[in-house]
Structures are given as structure tokens and as C-alpha cells.
Amino acid sequence: MGDRVADKIALVTGAAAGLGRAIALRLSEEGASLVVADLDAAGLAETERQIKAKGRPVMAIAVDVTEEAPVKALFAAIFKAHGRLDILVNDVGGGTSGHIWEAKVEDWDFILRLNLRSAFLCTREAAAHMRERRYGRIINLSSGAREGTPWTAYYVGNSAYSAAKAGIHGFTRGVALELAEYGVTVNAVAPGPIETEKTAPSFRKLEPLEYGPVRATPLRRIGVPADIANAVLYLASDEANYITGTTLAVAGGR
């Protein structure tokens, strides 16, 4: 247990599993009071249980952050309970569309909505509040896919996800410039190949392939959720108070 974000109020979306859960746990370990949000109520309850098991405060809210009204209700609940929000982590994302010649319009729209609209809606609510307080940390999850992922492109295709995460990169830069004069920093973390309970099986299949993730990563290993959680913690802490508008690649050198 540490104090790098002691007494801060932090909201992590997409916290029901994987990177979102790891980020929430890491911020909690360093002193933050957590609000965790996700559409997966069962997974969210498990994240809440793990945080409470360490004696740390947490509030779990099952919500669809791609919709405007639920996002407004989420922030209203946070302000009612805590009176403020110091840290926002937009972790919600994902989705697959297949190769471009077979991709469906509905998959394209869903992926952009999941990754970009959710970040926009949550950031808009947080920004209005943080601007008034002249303090805040916003961290978005981009991806190495923003520049194309070789193993995905060659074997399954997912240009919609690459487009969405490139959008997060640009969104982060633009919002950072808008909020800079108010003392609010906005950054992104761009994970490379990270092994979670969801991605592990696919990585095992890709390992022996010519363009697989291990061979394409200079450090010759797949990352773990703690690698991303530590990067988010750094950007959320006062150690990074002169960093804004930056996308930090946590991708083993890829």
C-alpha cells in the first residue's frame, strides 16, 4: 500500500475485468477512493469485492457509458457521494470487425461507439467539473493498434479498432490543449499486447506464427495488466503534473 494518489477520488470505467480491474486495484492500493463502472454487473461486483478485501473504499455502479443519460446519472451519483472527482480513467473499449473486405457497418459503428463515444461522454462530464476546480487527471486508453497491429492485420483484421484508438490519441491531444490553462492534464496510455483472461487464449495460438506478438515485440514478451496499471498510476499522480497531451506507449518497444 502506498500514497501516490492518497485521498483522491477516482473513476475507472470498464472495471469489471482485465485492464480496468487492474487499474482500479492499483489506484486503490495507492490511496485513492474508487468508483468503478461497467455494464457487466457480475464482473463489477468481483472488482468491488477485491478492493473491499484490502480494506479500501469503493463504490460500484453498473452503467452503459456509451449513453448520455446514464453517464450524467453516474457523475451525479459520484458528486453526491464524494462532492468531487479527481481522476478519470476511460478504459471502456474493445471490439472486432474482421478484414476490411468483410467488415460490417454495424460492427464499425459499434466499435467507434464503444471506444470513442464512451470516452467523449465521460470526459465531457469530468472536464466541466475539473475546469471549475482547476484540477484533474484524465487518462484514456488508446492502443498500439492506433498505428496498426501486424498480427491482427495479417490473421483476423480489425481496422475499426485501429481507427477508434487512433481517434483516442487525437481526442486526448485536443482535450489536453483545451484544459491546459485550467490545470487539468489529459493523457493516454497505449498498451501493446497484454495478456488478460480474455486475450490469453488467442495469444497462445499466435505465438508460433511469423507475425505473432512475441516475435514482433522487441522485449520478447507479452505484457501483463500490471504494466498498464502502473503507467496509469504514474499519469494520475503528482509525479506527472507537467505532462499533458501525451500518449504513453507501454508496448515492449513495438
Catalytic residue ranges: 161
What does the alpha-carbon distance between residue 14 and residue 90 come to, in Å, rounded to a whole number?
8
Distance CA(35)–CA(45), nearest Å, equals 12
If phi > 0 it is left, if psi is from -120 to 50 it is alpha, else beta; for residue 58 that is beta
Q: Say how far apart CA 68 and CA 126 lie, in whole Å.
A: 13
Largest Cα–Cα separation, the chain: 53
- Separation in Å, CA 78 to CA 57, 73, 94, 110, 196: 13, 9, 25, 27, 28
